[in-house]
Amino acid sequence: MADSATPVPVVHQQKGGIRRPTLSRRREVGHASARSLLMTILGEYVLPRDQAIWTSTLVEALSVLDIEEKSARQALARSSAEGWVVSERVGRRVRWSLTPPGRRLLTEGAERIYAFGNEEKAWDGRWLMLIVSVPEAKRDLRHRLRTRLTWAGFGSPVAGVWVSPDLSRQREAQQIVQELGLDAQAMSFTAAYGDVGDQETMVARSWDLSELKDRYEDFIDRFTGARPSGERGVLRAQTELVHEWRSFPFLDPRLPLKLLPDGWSGVRAADLFHRKHVEWRPEAQAQWDELAATSG
């Protein structure tokens, strides 16, 4: 689930005039907004239980993550205004429930987060190529197209050309160009790479994997060897683990291993996430139930 704390693509000029999307590190690993942490808590603990939760419980849970009460209440208000949660007054107290849109958002996000990195898709060597250009004068439209295609996992080796090794992205690409009013001039092809040039160079020009590698290594450094302790230690560790991992499905173009550098850190990071999540889950869920019982 994307939100305001999720890094967004920006564009840097490279040698030869080629423009390539890279990732903004506007939010460094370990620093998150109250609202985005609230969404992680809702997805990890509230969604599976399907029951209303008191304001005091959510405020207390966020305090475990060093979020002050004022910020926690503002995060709840924002999430309510955006339609993800709805409040209900019970006497002098307030409890919160997920709305149908909020439940769908978190369910889709959970599926994406927990499935990501679990298995390697077979690749038959074919590429999806999308050709669509926007006049320089229409900068806002160019930016919207670039942002949406980047989020969909496409890379751009040269201006006006977008590529992906995932042929199933064709429908999504079609939807993007249609919604932006560019479908009349867009064209797509599926084909194997030819004899001119090499795939490694095309991949390097299409995606900034060095930035993504750094983020994966930050994640590995942070959680390898983590030994949570204390009254709410595992609850905090599990929430931070999921919160940091949830951005990777949006940042990683999910290239086949054949196209990635040897020893790709994303593989190690995925193994670490899934292993730690399974290891910490029982105790984290138990600590959440205890927190809900004592603060509710």
Record the pTM: 0.80
- Per mean pLDDT, which range of 2-16, 47-61, 62-76 is the poorest? 2-16
Q: Tens digit of pLDDT for each residue in 108-132?
A: 989 989 988 877 778 999 999 999 9
Vertex 151 angle, CA 150 and 155, to 5°: 25
Residue type, 111: E
Q: Tens digit of pLDDT for each residue in 139-181?
A: 999 999 999 999 888 999 999 999 999 999 999 999 999 999 9
Q: For 48-58, what is the mean pLDDT? A: 94
Ordered domains of the chain (ranges, CATH): 1-6+19-121+207-296 (1.10.10.10), 9-18+122-206 (3.30.70.240)
H/E run at residue 203: helix 199-206
**32-36 own/partner pairs: CB under 8 Å, 24+ apart:** 32/5, 32/243, 33/4, 33/5, 33/75, 34/62, 34/67, 34/71, 34/72, 34/74, 34/75, 35/3, 35/4, 35/5, 35/74, 35/75, 35/78, 35/79, 36/3, 36/4, 36/5, 36/6, 36/243
Residue 9 has pLDDT above 90, yes or no: no
Q: Which residues contact 210 (CB under 8 A, 6 or more apart)?
A: none
Strand partners, 20: 12
* pLDDT confidence of residue 12: 37
Burial class (CB in 10 A: 0-12, 13-18, 19+), 121: exposed
Q: Tens digit of pLDDT for each residue in 244-293?
A: 999 998 889 989 999 998 899 999 999 999 999 999 999 999 999 999 99
> Phi/psi of residue 41, each to 5°?
-60, -45
H/E run at residue 54: strand 53-54
Helix (H, G, I), strand (E, B) or coil at 48: coil
